[in-house]
Structure 1
Amino acid sequence: MAHDVAITGYGVLTAFGFGRQALLDGVFAGRPGFTPVTRFDPTPYRARYAATFEGDGPGIPGVPVRPGVTPGQAEVLLACATEALRMAGTDGGDAPVLLGTNGDHSTAPDFWSVPGSRVAADPRTLDSVPARLPELIARELGLGEPRTAFVNACVAGTNALARGATLIRRGLADTVVCGGAYLVCEDVFAKFDSGRALSTEDAVRPFDARRQGLLHGDGVAVLVLESARRARSRGAEVLGWLAGWGMASDAHHVIQPHPKGDGLAKAAQAALRTANVEPGRIGYVNAHGTGTPLNDVAETAALHQVFGADAPRVPVSSTKSSTGHMLEATGAVEAVITLLALREGLLPPTINGREPDPACDLDYVRDVGRRVPITHALSLNAAFGGVDAALVLERA
């Protein structure tokens, strides 16, 4: 059953631009995407940096990018979905649309600053309702149902992919369009800053003794999943297989991870079971790796649970050190990055390291990418409330 969910197309945006080459030139080349925030005045906040796409890189088809302005989530999602379907060579038919998104909140500060306002002057304010976005994408592209928004923070995009794969494996859909989106905006930035989750540096340092916290980044990714039967019947190129997926909730704390990574370990173990893959076959882990003091230690502990004595020999990287944390989009974008690692035989690096942390004692692919032919990879994500998710991808 591991070969029944094929990935046949994707469209992706990060701070480095649109598409595959932008990821290779940015994430896989070990470039940091962080620059001073210009989309809003960061003066009131502790943090001043984010990884935003300002037009320096491959552009978004049909979407003008103006420095200092947040693009609309709906239009970037549409561009990514269109590219994913084009790459897959299909119109999607009646495919469900499943997206991890908390809505587009880029106009929220303007809306709330108008005394007594009940009607938004900017139509994009309506897009702050998460369910509106998959509905818009499905209508525009003539796709089917269900049209679902997953809103559970940093595992939302992963959950969308897991649900899409489940629909295919159960025979409830032949094709599913799924992914996630977050574009840096003041409303969300301010909340993370007030919680002191953001680094005051222009860098994120996952698994490093000097790590301060995370930084936000632009991220949108849409993938086309198909049943193997459907993909083969129309002669589609299979880019890779979504072989396994798992979800867990340790309910340890409202915002803190379980100190031993119990929930994340259970999600990873469930994904391996779903894929029917032994831990020893995993050649790479794309870690959640937020660069926060608690997460990185907990995730390291989780990987020790999953891999046992072999844990120090499994290459791990946090690509958030380049892209920043893309919140609801994280799992979808990192699934594309993991897919590219399998296809290119190149593991992306964890950058910005200064000083090893004895509590983080794994092989973190430091500074530069590593050429390693791998067949299976694990992608991990965790979120507030102790919810965790994992994907196993297999090379086609």
Structure 2
Amino acid sequence: MSVFSAFGAGVDALLRAAVEGTSGFAPVERFDVGARRAKVAAVAPGSPELVRELIRAVNEACDDAGLARSARADCHLFLAVHGEPHGGADAFAAGIAAACGFAGARAYTSACVAASTAVADAAALIAHGRVQRVVVGAGYLVDADQYALFDAGRALALDGRVRPFSSGRSGLLLGDAVGALVLEAAGGAGATGGAEPLARIAGWGRSGDAYHVCKPRPDGHGLARAINDALHRGGVEPAGLGYINAHGSGTKQSDVAESAALRVSLGEAAAEIPVSSTKSIHGQALEAGALLELILTIAALRAGRLPLNAGYLGPDADCPLALVLEPAAARLDYALTLNVAFGGANTALLVGAP
């Protein structure tokens, strides 16, 4: 796997920030925010280019997996990208795939669950023996247009921090994310140069609320169905979870609904399982966010370190979760990463030790 974020290129820098609670939020200099209410985002320094970073991330992930260019000719790239890039999402994905030597591509643009939907689709295809491997990529770099839309909608936090599940939280903040992950059938690593597997996609679940165009279903039942499906597919009981990387956008309604979903799906275990939202570190990366968070969850599982729920000010009675507020080590056999999107789309990915 490979990642690029506000902390630069590399998984290690991102994981270090997450387990130490180091925020990537800083004043935006990439474009003019003088007329905006909010002035902050988690952006990488310099002037990164999306195409270049995507090609680099995909090639790096493939190289680390031992997937030679000659072996990519029968492999597809599933790419989550924001909106309609120049020429359209399908053409954009096809261009990245061609540059990296893949047989073809599939584009995903379904908001904050785009990348997790791509991972679930890839896992299902592999599990049913239809393909040997799929490379999933995703990319979003904070841009002026989306920043203006979220700012005009009063969704951005004005205090410069994302504070998931905390009292006094006031909204989300955008962040850069580009990443790639090689998924393949169990035992397939030997065919790609003998690389050791990093983790297992043990289960996945998806659901739709059909509740509101942007508000989450307050009782959390839609997301709860996705969580239950992921656990059922993986044969894991709630007590077997060692960590949950929650969607945790830092907005008032979304965090309460997600807390309700965890209580519905996990029962009494919801009060004991460590929970954090890494958006408090790297921000909301829209279509690319779910892949960044999956990569970070895998890195945390491998390191046995829990990412902090940064920005916390105090408890919210409507979010009674076991939040990770201090640096902590833990043995993680299974971890769950959750994402939700406007329109009521929900995803849950269950990852396990290899």
| TM norm structure 1 | 0.86
AA in 2 matched with 1:387: A
- % identical equivalent positions: 43
Greater mean alpha carbon deviation, residues 319-328 or residues 133-142? 133-142
Residue 12 of structure 2 aligns to a residue in which SS? helix
Structure 2 partner of 1:221: 179
Q: SS at the partner of 1:385?
A: coil
Counterpart for residue 36 of structure 2 = 45
So what's the TM-score if we normalise by structure 2? 0.96
Q: Is the 8 A contact 2:65 2:189 kept in 1?
A: no
8 A Cα contact 1:72 1:104, kept in partner: no
CA deviation vs aligned residue, 1:112-142 (integer Å, no higher than 9, x gap): xxxxxxxxxxxxxx26x22233212210121
Report the equivalent of 1:4: none
The one of 235, 247, 260 equivalent to 1:301 is 260
Residue 181 (structure 1) aligned to one of 125, 134, 139: 139
Partner of residue 12, structure 1:
3
How far apart are 1:103 and its partner, in Å?
A: 4.6
Where 2:19 maps in the other structure, the secondary structure is coil
CA deviation map 1:354-383 (0-9, x unaligned): 1211111111101x3310011000000000
* SS of equivalent residue, structure 2 residue 20: coil
Partner residue of 2:61?
84
Distance in structure 2 (CA, Å) of the matches to 1:363 and 1:73? 36
Residue in 1 aligned with 2:331? 373
Aligned mates of 2:128, 2:64 — CA distance in 1:
25
Structure 2 gaps of 5+ residues are none
CA contact (8 A) 2:126 2:132 kept: yes
Q: 2:151 aligns with which of 190, 193, 200?
A: 193
Which runs of 5 or more residues in structure 1 are unaligned?
1-9, 55-65, 106-125
Matched, 1:165 2:123: yes
What SS does the aligned partner of 2:323 have?
coil
The equivalent of 1:100 in structure 2 is 80
Q: CA deviation at 1:229?
A: 3.3
Question: What amino acid does structure 1 have at the position aligned with 2:49?
Answer: G
Check conservation: 1:182, 1:219, Cα contact below 8 A.
yes
Whole-Å separation in 2 of the counterparts to 1:274 and 1:294:
29
Aligned residue-pair number: 350
8 Å contact from structure 2 (residues 27, 41) kept in 1: yes
RMSD, aligned CA:
1.3
Alpha-carbon separation, structure 2, partners of 1:29 and 1:37: 23
1:364 aligns with 2:323: yes
- 1:147-200 CA-partner distances (Å, limit 9, x unpaired): 111111000010111111111111121110103211100011111111111111
Alpha-carbon spacing, 1:103–1:384, altered in 2? closer, same or farther (3 Å): closer
> Secondary structure at the residue paired with 1:346?
coil
1:132 and 2:91 correspond = yes
Deviation at 1:233, TM superposition (A): 4.6
Task: Report what 1:251 is aligned to.
Answer: 210
Of residues 136, 139, 164 in structure 2, which corresponds to 1:206?
164
CA contact (8 A) 1:101 1:150 kept: yes
Query: Counterparts of 1:101 and 1:244 in 2: how far apart (Å)?
Result: 23
